[in-house]
Amino acid sequence: MNKNEIIVLTDVALITCIVPRGKADAIVAAAQEAGAHGATIFHARGEGTRERLGILGLAAEVEKEVINILVATDQVDRIFERIYLAGDLDTPGMGLIYVTPLEKAATHIPREIAERLGRHAMRPKKP
């Protein structure tokens, strides 16, 4: 494998979870216990139906954390459930979780791991 080859991962999905500020670390820990290898956490501001106040329906901005976790498709159900439970997402106003199937993803993967996993390499098209 040379520097111009891309290891393309297939059979992967992105789990996204949006929760109140301060909840992400516990959720990521639960996901890692279930087999996730890492996560990206974004800080955001947003509003939902729970943040509407008063007669005029004015919205209060609320600090949120958005968690993205890339997982193999065979891990999705297990990790999704652990995140849902760890985030208390069955409680109103505690957040939202969803899964996005990915057609392909790429990152640096050491050759020996790529060969063991049987992933294929693609050469990028020259401009």
Domains and CATH numbers, the chain: 13-102 (3.30.70.120)
pTM of this prediction? 0.79
- pLDDT reported for residue 22: 96
Encode pLDDT of 56-99 as tens digits. Answer: 666 667 899 999 999 999 999 999 999 999 999 999 989 999 99
CB count within 10 Å of CB 23 equals 20
- Dump the DSSP string for 82-120: HHHHHTTTTSTTS-EEEEEEES-EE----HHHHHHHT-E
Residue with tokens 């955001």: 44
Q: How confident is residue 117, by pLDDT bands cut at 50, 70 and 90?
A: low
DSSP state of 101: E
Distance CA 73, CA 97 (A): 16
Q: How confident is residue 108, by pLDDT bands cut at 50, 70 and 90?
A: confident
* Start-to-end C-alpha separation, the chain: 21
